[in-house]
Amino acid sequence: MQTFGQQLINGLSLGSIYALLALGYTMVYGIIKLINFAHGDIYMLGAFWGYYSLKSLHFNFVAALLSAMVICAVSGVIIEYFAYRPLRHSPRITALITAIGVSFLLENGMSYFVGASARSFPQAIKVVTYHWGGLRVSNVQLLILGTACLLMILLELIIKRTKMGKAMRAVSVDPEAAQLVGINLNHTISFTFALGSAMAGAAGVLIGLYYNSIDPLMGMTPGIKAFVAAVIGGIGSVPGASLGGFIIGILETGVQAIGLSAYKDAVVYFVLIVILLVLPAGIFGKRTKEKV
């Protein structure tokens, strides 16, 4: 039971990172039906900004986290404006290929400017380990889980209680009807990208603090896993994305705990296939009927 409890704690810490990333995927897809494969690289930008702000600007952890969220939010809006907005009425495959191109641009651009080697992330917080009933929990794990849950609650409040959140929900249901009642489609989509990218930026700083290592290609695999989490939870559903992230995190740490670290990625994708066979719309997804 102690081993199970320990792996559950580790899984929740890692899963909260995937949950923050999955939220960006699910919101963008819910608004414009785009799978933004560059989202994982926004997470990488957040990690590098956290590294720079902590090491060179001497920010504290909270300032580094908030500034990374702002930088990534601006980056998300810029990417949407220049890369995706001109293709809004193009076939979906065109936008999908563009998203992959933006992903490679960010990865290789960062490799060019800062080098391809991994860097040690500054430890902004002194690590303290607590022992409870045979379980080891660090203050960093508690900070990551608490910060992620706080951000997810704030996101839910923004979507449910604010005017822009209502606009986002209206656009996700029917963009044309939303425009007819006076909702600015461009502003709503840009706000969605900013919100999702800010979550990715926070995740980047948190993962740097957790693993103490960052590199320009760090967003590729977590980005794909976060997309898997969004699909498992029901893409387009905010609670589903959060749940999917925690499921992936717990599953990954559980597979590592039984000595199958080499197969942790394969198990994640296997679970995705099973979920899609049983629940094609995901856990919280809604089945929709299309007229032919």
Q: What is the pLDDT of residues 102-129, one digit of tens each?
A: 999 999 999 999 998 999 999 888 889 9
Q: Where are the domains of the chain?
A: 12-217
Q: Which of 197-206, 260-269, 276-285 has the highest mean pLDDT?
A: 197-206
Phi and psi at residue 112, to the nearest 5°: -70, -45
8 A C-beta contact, residue 8 and residue 256: no
Give the number of other CB atoms < 10 A from CB of residue 36.
31
Structure confidence at residue 288 (pLDDT): 58
What is the value of pTM for the model shown?
A: 0.92
Q: How is residue 236 written in tokens?
A: 């387009």
Crossing angle for the helix pair 39-55 and 2-32, nearest 10 degrees?
120
Structure confidence at residue 287 (pLDDT): 60
Q: What share of the chain in percent tops pLDDT 70?
A: 97
Closest of 191, 206, 227, 201 to residue 37, by C-alpha? 227
Closest of 8, 27, 21 to residue 167, by C-alpha? 27
Phi and psi at residue 236, to the nearest 5°: 105, -10
Residue 229 pLDDT level (bands cut at 50, 70, 90): very high
Structure confidence at residue 292 (pLDDT): 45
pLDDT tens sequence across 35-91: 899 999 999 999 999 999 999 999 999 999 999 999 999 999 999 999 999 998 899
Q: What share of the chain in percent tops pLDDT 90?
A: 70
